[in-house]
């Protein structure tokens, strides 16, 4: 399916009508589909190409070299996680992927720095960390604007999310799905799941495979144009809005047999708030027709619960 498309330039310019139309289109997409494609997102083609080049170079390193960057005790939140370590919530079979995670770099003296582990630098690929940091900052800027529009849609102050995501616990994840070399036990590379965070921003992917579960219970392939990023609602935003905005179930399926030898790369940005943010359902999203569906959690409490459910934290 061609998911709804919005133009972020319409929100960032000074035309109030265009801004209002953007807010309504974005909110409607979040409510009805849970996914939206965004153009004019501020991440250049050259930056994306370099990012994927650096990611491919890292994953082409020998396995023992990559394992030097798999650090015990970090629950996969920084550095490398080897093949088959993560599984979707409710599933025992591991996803057919390995990944590298890059987190927040606090540079303004904020004491929250003490809450975050240091990022892991890869000596063998000197351009890797700079490319990840540049992409991280670009995604942060785009995500901030998208959450400002979301706040307006929810009749909140435009800056409602800003203080919660400044120096937030966001993660940039570079994922590698290796080529399939023998008959797989399942047709799924990454089992169906919902994302943990507020919103996810995904730039490109080197091969098809992403599918979403629509309201009719059908799995639909997701396509977007090269100049677009795909953005979806995560569980934290669904929880905050008492299910008004939908955290859509999605998965990654194996390619057809003739493309088994093709690896897949994907680089999502999981936009998280600070761990202290309350995810208590907004009062405006609770009424007699929509009773409160969740107990009060902070973002940190919810993240900890989910990391245990998917096998990254013991």
User: Strands 171-177 and 210-213, how do they pair?
Assistant: unpaired
* Tens of pLDDT, residues 13-47: 989 999 999 999 999 999 988 889 999 998 888 99
Q: Is 287 exposed, middle or buried (0-12, 13-18, 19+ CB in 10 A)?
A: exposed
State phi, psi for 11 to the nearest 5 degrees.
Answer: -80, -35
pLDDT in tens, the chain (314 residues): 568 899 999 999 989 999 999 999 999 999 988 889 999 998 888 999 999 999 999 999 999 999 999 988 887 789 999 886 655 565 555 667 889 999 999 999 999 999 999 999 999 999 999 999 999 999 999 999 999 999 999 999 999 999 999 999 999 999 998 887 666 665 566 678 889 999 999 887 645 778 888 777 888 887 767 788 889 999 999 999 999 998 988 888 877 777 777 888 889 999 999 999 999 999 999 999 999 999 999 999 999 888 877 666 66
What contacts 24+ positions apart, CB below 8 Å, involve 213-221?
213/248, 213/249, 213/250, 213/251, 214/1, 214/33, 215/32, 219/251, 219/253, 220/1, 221/1
pLDDT digits (tens, 9 = 90+) for 195-243: 999 999 988 764 577 888 877 788 888 776 778 888 999 999 999 999 9
Answer whether 82's CB lies under 8 Å from 94's CB: no
User: Mean pLDDT score of the chain, rounded to an integer?
Assistant: 88
Name residues whose C-beta falls within 8 Å of residue 252's C-beta, 6 or more positions apart in sequence. 177, 188, 189, 190, 209, 210, 211, 264, 266
The widest CA-to-CA distance across the chain, in whole angstroms, is 58
Kindly list the domain boundaries of the chain, sorted by start residue: 5-309
Helix axes 128-153, 16-32, angle to 10 degrees: 100
248 neighbors 155 (Cβ within 8 angstroms): no
Retrieve residue 40's tokens. 């004019």
Q: Give Cβ neighbours of residue 15 (< 8 Å, ≥ 6 apart).
A: none
User: Measuring CA to CA, how many Å separate 226 from each of 43, 174, 205, 229?
Assistant: 12, 18, 9, 8
Fold (topology level) of 5-309: Jelly Rolls (2.60.120)
Give the chain's length: 314
């Amino acid at each position: 399916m061609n998911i709804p498309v919005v133009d972020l330039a319409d929100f960032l310019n000074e035309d109030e009508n265009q801004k209002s139309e953007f807010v309504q289109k974005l909110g409607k997409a979040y409510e009805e589909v849970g996914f939206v494609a965004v153009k004019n997102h501020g991440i250049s083609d050259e930056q994306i190409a370099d990012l994927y080049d650096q990611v491919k170079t890292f994953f082409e390193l020998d396995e023992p070299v990559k394992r030097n960057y798999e650090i015990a005790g970090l629950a996969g939140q920084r550095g490398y996680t080897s093949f088959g370590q993560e599984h979707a919530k409710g599933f025992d079979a591991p996803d057919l992927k390995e990944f590298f995670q890059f987190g927040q770099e606090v540079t303004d003296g904020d004491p929250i720095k003490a809450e975050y582990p240091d990022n892991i630098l890869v000596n063998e690929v000197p351009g890797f960390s700079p490319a990840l940091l540049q992409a991280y900052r670009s995604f942060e800027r785009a995500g901030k604007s998208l959450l400002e529009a979301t706040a307006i849609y929810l009749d909140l102050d435009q800056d409602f999310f800003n203080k919660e995501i400044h120096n937030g616990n966001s993660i940039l994840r570079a994922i590698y799905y290796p080529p399939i070399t023998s008959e797989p036990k399942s047709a799924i590379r990454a089992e169906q799941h919902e994302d943990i965070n507020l919103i996810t921003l995904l730039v490109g992917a080197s091969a098809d495979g992403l599918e979403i579960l629509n309201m009719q219970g059908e799995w639909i392939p997701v396509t977007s144009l090269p100049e677009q990023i795909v953005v979806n609602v995560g569980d934290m935003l669904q929880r905050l809005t008492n299910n008004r905005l939908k955290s859509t179930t999605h998965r990654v399926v194996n390619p057809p047999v003739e493309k088994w030898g093709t690896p897949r790369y994907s680089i999502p940005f999981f936009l998280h708030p600070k761990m202290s943010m309350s995810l208590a359902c907004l009062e405006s999203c609770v009424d007699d027709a929509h009773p409160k569906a969740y107990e009060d959690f902070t973002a940190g409490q919810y993240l900890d619960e989910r990391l245990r459910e998917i096998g990254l934290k013991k």
